């Protein structure tokens, strides 16, 4: 998994194309997110009840203003997930990019989330070293376990080592 906080984007011109890319990437999984019932999940993070595994269903994003890193998850009713992580920053007149995409299945109880990937790829574009760039190269992956909580439309994923990731709910 790509870690947040790897630097800052100095210009705002990358923000809109980056968000568009994330939304398009995650929308590939969105068609199966409601299981064809026409009913989406309840609004995540209600203050009046504890979150349930059903509240995970939808798109979640972690992208702080000014940050050079965007992380996103899409969870479906069928127990599938897709993760997208991208770090990008200006490098001269061009942009360095590192993109990590993981797909797999998940199991969630009221407080534990287990992500079981079945594929992972990395893409790198480095304007200072283009001969070593790669696209959708296979990447190592492993099962991950998190404690999870949803409150006020924010998903917190906490690793066993206490590393915390916070995502905002984007859509169902």
pTM score, two decimals?
Answer: 0.72
Task: For residue 48, count CB atoms less than 10 angstroms from its CB and return exposed for 0-12, middle for 13-18, buried for 19 or more.
Answer: exposed
| Across 25-39, average pLDDT | 38
CB 9 within 8 A of CB 66: yes
What is the C-alpha separation between 42 and 45, in angstroms, rounded? 9
User: Residue 6 CA to chain centroid, in angstroms?
Assistant: 15
pLDDT of residue 26: 44
One DSSP character per residue, 149-162 reads EEETTEEEEE-TT-
Lowest-pLDDT choice from 64-68, 70-74, 91-95: 64-68
User: Phi-psi region for residue 153, left (φ > 0), alpha (ψ -120 to 50) or beta?
Assistant: left
**DSSP tag of 37:** S
Rounded-to-integer distance, Cα 88 and Cα 99, Å: 9
**pLDDT for 1-22, tens place per residue?**
444 433 333 343 444 444 444 4
The candidate with the shortest Cα–Cα distance to 109, out of 149, 53, 51, is 53
């Amino acid at each position: 998994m790509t870690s947040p906080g790897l630097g800052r984007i100095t210009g705002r011109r990358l923000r809109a194309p980056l968000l568009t890319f994330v939304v398009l990437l995650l929308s590939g999984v969105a068609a199966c997110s409601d299981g064809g019932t026409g009913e989406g999940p309840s609004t995540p993070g209600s203050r009046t009840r504890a979150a349930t595994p059903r509240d995970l269903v939808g798109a979640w994003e972690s992208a702080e203003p000014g940050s050079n890193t965007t992380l996103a998850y899409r969870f479906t009713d069928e127990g599938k997930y897709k993760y997208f992580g991208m770090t990008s920053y200006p490098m001269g007149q061009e942009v360095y990019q590192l993109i990590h995409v993981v797909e797999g299945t998940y199991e969630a109880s009221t407080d534990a989330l287990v992500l079981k990937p079945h594929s992972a790829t990395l893409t790198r574009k480095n304007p200072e070293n283009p001969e070593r760039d790669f696209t959708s190269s296979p990447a190592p992956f492993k099962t991950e376990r998190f404690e999870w909580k949803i409150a006020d439309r924010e998903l917190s994923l906490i690793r066993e080592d206490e590393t915390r990731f916070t995502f905002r709910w984007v859509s169902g």
